[in-house]
C-alpha cells in the first residue's frame, strides 16, 4: 500500500466522521464518494508497475511461438492425413469417370 493511499484513507475517515457529525446525509455522501476516491488513489499508485502494451504483446507472441513449436508434429500428421484423404478422393473421382466413359 502506498503512502498516498494511507493519506487518502486517513483523510476519508476524518472527513466522514466530521460530515456525519454535521448531517447524516452529507456523511453518507462523503463516505461513498470518499471510498471511491481512495480506491482510485490505490489503483493509480500501482499504475506504473504494470507492463506496457509492447511488453504484454511480446510475452503473448512468445507463448504463441512456444505453442506453435509444441504442436508442429500434430499439424504435420494432420497435413499427411488430409493429403491421403485428397488422394483417395481423386482416385474415386477417377474411378467414377472411367465407369461413366465405359460403354455398357
Q: Is 30 exposed, middle or buried (0-12, 13-18, 19+ CB in 10 A)?
A: buried
Side-chain half-sphere exposure of 34, counting CA atoms within 13 A: 20
Tens digits of residue pLDDT in 24-71 = 999 999 999 999 999 998 888 877 777 788 988 999 999 999 999 999
- The CA-CA-CA angle for residues 86, 91, 95, to 5°, reads 150
pTM: predicted TM-score of the whole model, two decimal places: 0.46
Spell out the residues 6+ positions from residue 32 whose beta carbon is closer than 8 angstroms to its own. none
Amino acid at each position: 500500500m502506498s503512502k498516498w493511499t494511507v493519506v487518502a484513507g486517513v483523510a476519508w475517515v476524518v472527513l466522514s466522521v466530521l460530515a456525519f457529525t454535521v448531517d447524516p446525509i452529507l456523511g453518507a455522501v462523503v463516505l461513498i464518494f470518499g471510498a471511491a476516491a481512495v480506491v482510485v488513489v490505490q489503483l493509480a499508485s500501482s499504475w506504473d508497475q504494470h507492463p506496457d502494451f509492447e511488453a504484454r504483446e511480446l510475452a503473448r507472441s512468445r507463448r504463441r511461438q512456444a505453442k506453435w513449436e509444441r504442436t508442429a508434429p500434430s499439424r504435420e500428421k494432420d497435413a499427411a492425413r488430409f493429403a491421403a484423404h485428397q488422394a483417395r478422393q481423386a482416385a474415386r473421382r477417377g474411378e467414377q469417370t472411367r465407369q461413366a466413359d465405359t460403354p455398357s
